[in-house]
Amino acid sequence: MDRLSEQIAYSSGRLYPATEPYERRIVDTGDGHRLYVEECGKPDGQPVIVLHGGPGGGCSPYMRRFFDPDHYRVILFDQRGCGRSRPAASVQDNTTAHLIRDIEQIRSLLGIGSALLFGGSWGATLALAYAQAHPKRVSGLILRGVFLGRQTELDWFYGGGAGRFFPDLWARFCDPIPETERNDMIAAYHRRLFSDDLGQQSRYALPWLMWENALAGLQNQSGGHAPTEYARAFARLENHYFANGCFLDEGQLLRDRDLIAHLPAVIVQGRYDMVCPPLSAWELAQGWERCELRLIPASGHALSEPRITQELIRVMDAIREGLFANSH
């Protein structure tokens, strides 16, 4: 979950100036995928790996601007099948386990011992999954809009829960699907997004994308628009992961939290997040002594929500000044 942030709304928060990467590369995973990877900021700075949402959202220049470029070495990459990675919209060999291996390959290739993980929505899911698989490679977690990949969360968003607050937008999402199939909207869209008809894939990608995008920002529920190829990649990848339970055991990320209990973490969570309601962030933080949950008033889900932006920048600046100094 989580669409390209600057296409939802630019934040009025104090972002760092726009910067260009000092390094761009294509990383061959060895199994048919080629990943776009970029590095920004200070080449010998404190490393932070940015994990975008979706699955399928891709990175954007906006995401570079949360980090002091004179302190942080910022690594961004487009996950399999999306953004500038190729092949586009491919779900072949595209699972959570593959993405965890990709992060580890990138970390090793760049010679990074351990790194901060910065991720929101699906990016928070992936950050937790990677940290639990490789806790020694993580120095801390900065999470936003927590999504734990559980069936209850998918039921909330695709089973009508969020639709109780947005009945007009829910109706727009349901309209393309025959009433006889609406008991399982993920499966109904899956049949169309993965049909052999490329035109049908594209036609059903936009309403899938618009439903999530419309609920991401607290103030803007228009849903917006997106290029056809972007919408197709986003919808196919996200639906593929959700149709397969995010390739996680049910409740896995909470079950295995003890593996990362020693790591420091900050969760920035919109109080009125309709895409990923605060309950998941609350449950994740309970009993995690080194985790601080910050519930942000008058804020929804998007990275670009003004108060979310401001809080994330405050967190990263505090880490620069030593907030996570004793993380090992």
Active-site residue numbers?
Answer: 121, 273, 301
DSSP state string for 316-327: HHHHHTTTTTT-
| Nearest-angstrom CA–CA distance, 40 and 67 | 9
Q: Kind and range of the H or E element at 25?
A: strand 23-28
| Nearest-angstrom CA–CA distance, 222 and 210 | 8
Contact 93, 36 (CB under 8 A): no
Quick one: which of 74, 71, 57, 60 has its CA closest to 112?
74
What's the DSSP call for residue 135? G
| Nearest-angstrom CA–CA distance, 189 and 241 | 13
Partners of residue 76 on adjacent β-strands: 38, 50
Q: How far is CA 27 from the centre of its chain?
A: 20
Regarding beta strands 115-120 and 72-77, do their DSSP bridges make them parallel or antiparallel, or are they unpaired?
unpaired
Output helix, strand, coil percentages for the chain, rounded to the nearest 5.
Answer: 40, 15, 40
Q: How far is CA 183 from the centre of its chain?
A: 26
Which amino acid, one-letter code, is at 62? Answer: Y
What's the DSSP call for residue 45? S
Size (the chain), residues: 328
Structure token pair of residue 227: 């290029």
Contact 130, 123 (CB under 8 A): no
Measured in degrees and rounded to the nearest 5, phi and psi for residue 149 equal 70, 25
